Amino acid sequence: MEFIRGFGINLIVLFGLVFIMTFPGVTFHFQRRRLQVFLGCVLGLMTIVIMMNAWSFADGAFYDARTVMISLITLFFPLPTAFLATTLAVIYRAWLGGIGVYAGTLSMVFAFLVGVLWKRHLESKVALRPSLKYLLFGVVVHLTSMLAQLTLPYPENLAAIVRVWPVFLIVFPIATMILALALLDHYQRLADQKALSISEKRYRSLFDHAKLGIFQYNTQGVIESANDAFGLILNAPTQRLIGLEMLTLPNQGIVSALKKSLDGQKSSYEGPYQSVVSGH
C-alpha cells in the first residue's frame, strides 16, 4: 500500500507540473535571470514534495520519481534553473540521511548530467520519432539511476535493483516520454504563435504603409480594414470606410466582381467608380 500511495502522489505531482507549464496562455521568458532562479526554487520544492512521498525499500533507502522530474527540468528549462532545482533536492536528500543517501544523491546528479549532455549533444542528432527519442532518454536516465543503487551496502544493493528495476526501466521511462511529449508540444505551439505574430506584424506594416490602396472585406462583403492610401483614393477618412457593405453598392460592376471573389474566383473591375461615402 505504501508503494501504491507514494507512486500515485509522485505521478500526480509530475503531471501537475506539466499541466501548469502547458496551460493555455502560460509563457515564461526564460532569458530573465530572476525568473530562472524563481523557477529553480519552485521546481526544487516540487521535487522535494515528490521525495516526501517516497516509498521505502529499507531503513534509509527511499524511492520516488525525482529522477523523472529532474531529467525533464534539465531538458526543458535553462541550465541555472535545473542546477538550482537539483541542488535543493540533493540538499534535502542529504539531510534525510540513511543508507541510501549516496544512491539517492547520485541518481539525481546522474539525471541532471544525462539531461545536460542529451540537451547539448543528442537532442538535435537522434534521428528518431519524438516518442521513441524521449523513451530512450528516459531509459538512459534510469539506467544510471540503477547503477547508483550499487552504492548501497551489499547485499541490499542487489536486492534493491531486483525489486525496483521494473519501475525504473519500464514505468519511469514511459512517464518521462509522455511528459516530455506534452512539454514539447506546448513549446512548439508557443513557437508557432510567436512566428504567426511576427508574420502578422510584418503584414500589417506592409498593409499600412503601402502606396497602393488596399482594403479587406469579410465573407459578407463588409469592409473590415483599409489603409490610408485607399482612403486618399476615395477622398474619405479610413474610419468611415470600415463597415461599408459593398454588396449594396449601386455600381453593379463592383458588386458582380465582389460576388465572384466571394465564390472563390479571381475577379476584377476596371472602370469609373463614385464613392458612396464621399461622392468623389
Q: Mind listing the pLDDT tens digit for each residue in 87-123? A: 999 999 889 887 888 888 999 999 999 999 999 888 8
Amino acid at 127: A
Q: Mind listing the pLDDT tens digit for each residue in 221-239? A: 999 999 999 989 999 888 8
In this prediction, residue 134 carries a pLDDT of 92
In this prediction, residue 267 carries a pLDDT of 93
CB 46 within 8 A of CB 69: yes
Is 70 exceeded by the pLDDT of residue 41?
yes
CB burial of residue 203 (10 Å; 0-12, 13-18, 19+): exposed
User: What is the DSSP-derived secondary structure letter of residue 219?
Assistant: T
CA–CA dist 21, 18 (Å, integer): 5
Q: Taking the complete model, does pTM exceed 0.75, yes or no?
A: no
DSSP H or E segment with residue 217 = strand 215-217
CA–CA dist 80, 93 (Å, integer): 20
Query: What is the DSSP annotation of 47-108?
Result: HHHHHHT-EEEETTEEE-SHHHHHHHHHHHS-HHHHHHHHHHHHHHHHHH-STTHHHHHHHH
